Chain A
């Protein structure tokens, strides 16, 4: 029931946004997220954007990923 893939916001109109989700475009409700901008990535669930990606935090996790996977 859950989709874990972030979708890119490509158009915003009032309380809906058009998102691109691996090539598939879909209109979703955006009432639950603040300050959405075109180019943001959002997590979708049941036709609603639930949360937008925090780009800095994504970088931090990737950094941990790189560090932890280094051969020691």
Chain B
């Protein structure tokens, strides 16, 4: 495949990996914020090939994993209403709530439909005018434009039975929280690549300028990650604090103007509750007052249930990069992809799922 294979060239990757951190002695901690990077790092074997003083930790960059327990439980509760159809990205189906999961409820006959796009939810709404179609709107800046588009079309076409249960989150401020956390100590960030296609490189600059943490935006092929890590470690070594973009085939400095303006036409900044990280101001998106008629909570007069964390699951610390899945007592034996206890084991991009898949434990 074009723009894939050449960035995976095995002999080039191999040569590059040898250079990564070969001349650093101190311990360096790099966080890859994005779950897709975590997967790719495992898949390419990079984690095992680089020197052991270079620590790669996974961050909160999987939209399914960071969705709060309260949100999942509320979504499950909503499926019990006969006048409601829940539409969702497939990854959300298996996330365990406190008593059930969407998948369980689906098996019990509740009307829950998997979609690839919020635009498909809109289609379902048109086909079922007498029922409320609620899309589980989770995701980051990457997903927000598609959700915004669905609201815009619904508003223009006057579709009255479509709404979203909103939990859209934004990245850069969240990375600041991690930098401020004294227990973590991050020397550099591998920025979320897809989020960056939308927001660009600019919004990360404050991390380098104010907090002296360099960052690199990289793509997802093994070569991209090798270049990204190499570039980042060079900066760390030389005390250079900048944001470098080695994914310029898709990421512009300013991001995508069209995507950004489509988000902010419909949404405005808000607080957001993250699994493990709690409530962080300025890291969420909520519908503007003008579009509040598409907000499932106001429309149905419901409030999110209380957050009840799952016993024994340490997803929270894992999402902050404080612990790794091997430190969870439930990992593998009790919690595995067939029987996930926490959200990080569910999504393909979840840290626990990645460890399970590539560590050959179990």
Contact = CB atoms under 8 A, between A and B. Distances in A.
A13 interface: no
A48 B259 CA distance: 10
Interface in A1-46: 1-2, 4-6, 8, 22, 29, 31-34, 41, 43, 45-46
Interface range for A:
35 or more
Interface stretch (B48-56, B190-198, B286-294, B335-343): B190-198
Contacts of B35: 2
Contact of A61 (B139, B227, B230): B227
B146 A4 contact: no
B180 interface: no
B28 interface: no
A55 B262 CA distance: 25
Chain B interface extent, by class: 35 or more
A70 B11 CA distance: 10
A71 B11 CA distance: 11
A37 to B, nearest CB: 15
B347 interface: yes
Contacts of A1: 62-64, 89, 91, 139, 143, 347-349
B256 A54 contact: no
Contacts of A61: 7, 219, 224, 227, 246-249
Nearest to A16: B119
Contacts of A46: 89, 116-118, 139, 142-143, 146-147
Contacts of B227: 61, 64-65, 68
A43 B117 contact: no
A8 B194 contact: no
Interface in B146-169: 146-147, 149
Interface string B51-75: 0000000000011100000000000
Interface of B: 1-4, 6-7, 9, 11-13, 15-16, 19, 34-36, 40, 62-64, 89, 91, 116-120, 139, 142-143, 145-147, 149, 193-194, 197-198, 219-221, 223-224, 226-227, 230, 246-252, 256, 258-259, 262, 347-349
6 contacts: A4-B194, A45-B146, A50-B194, A53-B3, A60-B248, A65-B227
